[in-house]
């Protein structure tokens, strides 16, 4: 059972690591957008990698600092989930602010890049329909919602894997 003191510690460490992950993701995203423009697929891959690394070190720090090298699956999952949700929230907020105020041309470039991709696979009315859907859902709010859902989903499932690797080992008591 997790004590109240441990809950505060899990929450504190997790929030701190979620903020670190979101800041790193923001910086990386701005760098990629500045270098290669919107629609750069390495951004998504690297952002997930950053989340994985920060989540790993956050859970590891908690395990070794406060639990003497042992952590339950529940503690691991809660910590990873908090890191993922904090990261998703702040990164989504960043995407809304970034696309609305900082780089207003990003959405237009995003639509143009995706329109070129679509032209290779579909034509005619179907192409126009896809472009209309893309335009309808390419607003700053939808970019933020998409970023939140994408990162939150990763943040839901990644702690499950972390729990497997960080599971609590049985401590055998020796009776003398």
d(CA 132, CA 14): 40
**24 falls in which pLDDT band (50, 70, 90)?**
very high
In SS3 terms, 99-153 reads as HHHHCCCHHHHHHHHHHHHHHCCCCHHHHHHHHHHHHHCCCHHHHHHHHHHHHHH
Is the pLDDT reported for residue 11 higher than 50? yes
51 occurs within a structural domain: yes
Higher pLDDT, 105 or 17: 17
Rg (CA), the chain: 20
* Mean pLDDT for the stretch of residues 126-154: 89
89 occurs within a structural domain: yes
d(CA 121, CA 1): 54
Give the pLDDT of residue 75: 86
Question: pLDDT by residue (tens digit) across 49-106?
Answer: 999 999 999 888 888 777 677 788 888 899 899 999 999 999 999 999 988 998 888 7
What total number of domains does the chain contain?
1
d(CA 150, CA 89): 11
**Where in the sequence is the domain holding 26, given as residue range(s)?**
4-103+140-165
96 occurs within a structural domain: yes
97 occurs within a structural domain: yes
**176 falls in which pLDDT band (50, 70, 90)?**
very low
Give the pLDDT of residue 66: 73
78 occurs within a structural domain: yes
* Mean pLDDT for the stretch of residues 12-19: 92
91 occurs within a structural domain: yes
Q: Are 128 and 76 in contact (CB under 8 A)?
A: no
116 occurs within a structural domain: no
**42 falls in which pLDDT band (50, 70, 90)?**
low
Q: Are 39 and 29 in contact (CB under 8 A)?
A: no
128 occurs within a structural domain: no
């Amino acid at each position: 059972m997790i004590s109240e003191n441990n809950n505060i510690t899990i929450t504190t460490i997790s929030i701190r690591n979620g903020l670190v992950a979101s800041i790193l993701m923001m910086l990386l995203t701005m760098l990629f957008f500045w270098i290669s423009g919107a629609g750069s697929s390495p951004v998504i891959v690297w952002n997930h990698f950053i989340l994985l690394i920060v989540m790993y070190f956050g859970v590891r720090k908690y395990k070794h600092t406060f639990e003497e090298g042992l952590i339950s699956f529940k503690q691991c999952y809660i910590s990873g989930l908090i890191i993922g949700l904090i990261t998703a929230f702040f990164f989504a907020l960043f995407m809304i602010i970034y696309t609305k105020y900082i780089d207003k041309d990003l959405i237009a470039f995003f639509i143009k890049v995706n329109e070129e991709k679509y032209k290779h696979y579909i034509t005619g009315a179907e192409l126009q329909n896809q472009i209309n859907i893309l335009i309808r859902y390419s607003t700053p709010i939808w970019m933020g919602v998409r970023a939140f859902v994408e990162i939150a989903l990763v943040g839901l499932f990644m702690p499950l894997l972390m729990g497997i690797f960080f599971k609590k080992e049985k401590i055998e008591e020796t009776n003398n």
